A and B are shown apart, each in its own frame.
Chain A
Amino acid sequence: QITLRESGPTLVKPTQTLTLTCSFSGFSLTSSGVAVGWIRQPPGKGLEWFALIYGTDDKRYSASLKTRLTITKDTSRSQVVLTMTNMDPVDTGTYFCAHRTGGGFDYWGQGILVTVSS
């Protein structure tokens, strides 16, 4: 059974760096066909994909956020870590991590609501 869970701070100040962890079980992030992605959703708005890491350690970032993002994996801990620098109130929203294979983004975490406010 595949599960994912996001963890990290729920409140950050503007200009600070956000670090989120996605802890997963039920799969191994070691092959090219498996990946973990990050998707966010501002309150009352739609979904935005912005980062992904493959089991090969290949990484993808959305063009709009690329300069602020770093995604890494710790295979031994079954975790994916995302850092986003220079946080702004517009970055407020729920952040989800999701498992991806040839079957698309099939399993999702419950999400973590991050508020950016001074």
Chain B
Amino acid sequence: QTVVTQEPSLTVSPGGTVTLTCASSTGAVTSDLYPNWFQQKPGQAPRALIYSTDNKHSWTPARFSGSLRGGKAALTLSGVQPEDEAEYFCLLYYGGSQLWVFGGGTKLTVL
């Protein structure tokens, strides 16, 4: 069973920078896994932020960026705002089995 792992929780100060990561139990995360990132606030549906590693949607704030870092997918928030406090989920696509797997989520606190 494929497992996708994220940091359970992170804390960042307003205006600061934080990087969330997403690892795969199958090995290094590459662009072939088409990493997606989502933001979810309590009581709301997830909102798509990043697709295919580093592509932003038209509504994605400029302070969010995606990348590959050290064999993992990464989501970096630069100049964090209080409204960025939320849970963040990554999603990887395993083309061999044609399945999608979410990470467990990172709860980001802005304090």
* Closest partner residue, chain A, to B2 (CB atom): A63
Contact partners of A103 in chain B: CB under 8 A: 48, 51-52, 55, 57
Q: Which interface residue of B40, B99, B100 has the most chain A CB atoms within 10 A?
A: B100
Q: Is the CB of A106 within 8 A of B99?
A: no
Cα–Cα, bound, A60→B99 (Å): 7
* Residue in A49, A64, A108 whose beta carbon sits within 8 Å of that of B100 in the complex: A49
CB closest residue in chain B, given A47: B102
**Interface range for B:** 20 to 34
Q: Which residues of A contact B91 (CB under 8 A)?
A: 47, 49, 104-105
A82 at the interface (CB under 8 A from B): no
Residue of A nearest to B35 (CB): A104
By Cβ-Cβ distance, the 5 closest A-B pairs, closest first, are A104-B51, A49-B100, A47-B102, A104-B36, A108-B45
